[in-house]
Amino acid sequence: MPERRTRLAILGSTGSIGRGVLDVASRHRDRFEVVSLSAWTSTEALSRQVDEWGASKVAVAPGSASRLEVSDGVSVLDGPDALEELAADPTVDLVVNALVGVSGLKPTMAAVRAGKRIALANKESLVAAGGLVMGAAAEMGAAIIPVDSEHSSIWRCLRGTPRGEVESLVLTASGGPLRDLPAHKIATAPLADVLAHPNWDMGEKVTVDSASLANKAMEVIEARWLFDVPFDRIEVLVHRESVVHSLVRLVDGSLLAHMGEPDMRIPIQYAMFYPEVPAGAFAGCRLEEVGALHFEGVDAARYPCFNLILGAGREGGTAPAAAAAADEVAVRAFSDGAIGFGDIAAVIERTLGSMQRSAAADLESVLATDAEARERASGEVERLAAAR
Ligand code: MG
């Protein structure tokens, strides 16, 4: 047994992943303590978490500090660098980055530069700046452990598998909430249908991204950096049951698969305990109850965001950062009812088409691309909304 508990910083603690982290921690109170928590605007839920877990530091959106009800000893940060401060805190052992969107990038980089162990659920960090993040992690001795279920599964399959035996990585995709909709109805799918994910209970942004398969394209980019595997050796399969969370194809033609219930707490717990695997806790997967497993290729014609974002990833430089930013703006506009579901791809395509490309030389150039892409994407949203 370790002599002291793992000290956690949980960025984005009131979201779906953040709550999962606290659920796992509550099952192992002898192993984890919470140093810091953060939320953007859910100050009520955050106040309750701070109270329950005795966190000593907390970060909220600028101007939200006054809405937080916490005891006097808790230090409340609401400045522009608050999340980076929590991520680099020398008293923290494990930084959980469960932030949504490219806003997770700077805190990831702060944790990396501080040489932290990072449980990474914020895929945009690697989509926008994978080369920079992984390069800095290698230099600083920071460990990035994936929380995303697909990557967690691949990580597990690769444990003990010599790299020379790996032919390719195979990410599975549920196909999302719109998988059974006729192709001509996808562009006009209403928000309620888009949010009705058949297998996974996740936050709104990632659920919309699952419906468009933007999420899967981002996960391919994430895998490319996380496992240092070229795009040509990453496959995607649609697998309706979400029981096989991903696979590794070996050079002898065989496959390793990692299976389980679609319960995010399993990959979350794996990242929190890595390299240890604690027993019990979650329901075992009963394949006799699942019955059949189905697999098919991706019909990219149904999901234009998939090829757009993957194409940006393959292009490299600042293109994937621009694509991620445009997707974020478009998904927000769709969630707000300003544009249709089919317009998300249009916003990404037009934003990418209107931007100069450059090398992702440093964090500043990636963030400048992010800001420019947001501005251009917002302009596209306005045009599309006006034309409706
Ligand atoms: Mg995933």
| Tens-place pLDDT, residues 60-89 | 998 888 889 998 899 999 998 999 999 999
On whether residue 57 sits in a domain, the answer given is yes
Task: Say what percent of the chain tops pLDDT 70.
Answer: 99
d(CA 206, CA 286): 27
3-state secondary structure (DSSP) of residue 36: strand
Contact 200, 242 (CB under 8 A): yes
- Residues 202, 348, single domain; the answer is yes
Radius of gyration of the chain (CA): 20
> Cis ω on the peptide bond leading into residue 90 (within 30° of 0)?
no
Q: What pLDDT is stored for residue 118 in this prediction?
A: 98
Give 219 Cα–ligand 1 centroid separation in angstroms.
Answer: 7
- Given a contact cutoff of 8 angstroms between Cβ atoms, the answer to whether 188 and 94 are in contact is no
Q: How far is the CA of 150 from the centre of ligand 1 (A)?
A: 5
> Using DSSP, how many helices (H) and how many strands (E) does the chain show?
16, 11
- Name the residues around ion ligand 1, CB cutoff 5 A: 148-150
Tell me: do 136 and 221 sit in the same domain: no
Task: Give the model's pLDDT for residue 329.
Answer: 98
Segment 324-353 mean pLDDT: 97
Distance 220 CA to ligand 1 centre (A): 10
Token pair of 117, please? 């162990």
At residue 257, does pLDDT exceed 70? yes
Q: Which domain holds residue 27?
A: 6-146
Please say whether the beta carbons of 236 and 300 come within 8 A: no
Query: Which pLDDT belongs to residue 63?
Result: 87
Sheet holding 234-238, edge to edge: 234-238, 166-173, 244-250, 255-259
CA distance 148 to 222: 10
pLDDT of residue 1: 53
Which residues lie closer than 8 Å to 199 by C-beta, 6 or more apart? 174, 241, 242, 262
Does 157 reside within a domain? no
Answer yes or no: do 214 and 252 share one domain. Answer: yes
- Whether pLDDT at 258 is above 90: yes
Quick one: 362 and 311 in the same domain? yes
State the distance from the centre of ligand 1 to the C-alpha of 272, rounded, in angstroms: 17
Q: What is the CATH number of the domain that holds 71?
A: 3.40.50.720
Compute the average pLDDT of residues 81-108.
97
User: Largest Cα–Cα distance in the chain?
Assistant: 63
* Mean of pLDDT values over 218-231: 98
Give the distance (Å) from ligand 1 centre to CA of residue 343: 23
- Mean pLDDT within 183-188: 95
What is the whole-number distance in angstroms between the Cα of residue 210 and the centre of ligand 1? 9
pLDDT at 216: 97
pLDDT for 64 equals: 87
- What tens digit of pLDDT does each residue of 264-322 get? 999 999 999 999 999 877 888 999 999 999 999 999 999 999 999 999 999 999 999 99
Same domain, 35 and 83: yes
314 and 180 share one domain? yes
Across the chain, mean pLDDT equals 95
Q: What is the dihedral of CA 254, 179, 214, 203, to 10 degrees?
A: -100
User: How far is residue 70's CA from residue 65's CA, in Å, rounded to a whole number?
Assistant: 10
Model confidence at 2, pLDDT cuts 50, 70, 90, reads low
- Is pLDDT at 184 greater than 60 in this prediction? yes
The model scores a pTM over 0.85: yes
- 151 Cα–ligand 1 center, Å: 7
Q: Is residue 257 part of a domain?
A: yes
pLDDT of residue 201: 76
Looking at the structure of the chain, the number of domains it has is 2
CATH code for position 359: 1.10.1740.10
The pLDDT value given to residue 92? 98
**Ligand 1 centroid vs 61 CA: distance in angstroms?**
26
The length of the chain is 388
Which of residues 101, 118, 146 is at a domain's end? Answer: 146
> In angstroms, what is the span from residue 72 Cα to ligand 1's centroid?
39
Tell me the CA–centroid distance for residue 268 and ligand 1, in Å: 12
**What is the per-residue DSSP string for 155-191?**
HHHHTT--GGGEEEEEEEE---TTTTS-HHHHTT--H
As a whole number of angstroms, the distance between CA 211 and CA 147 comes to 20
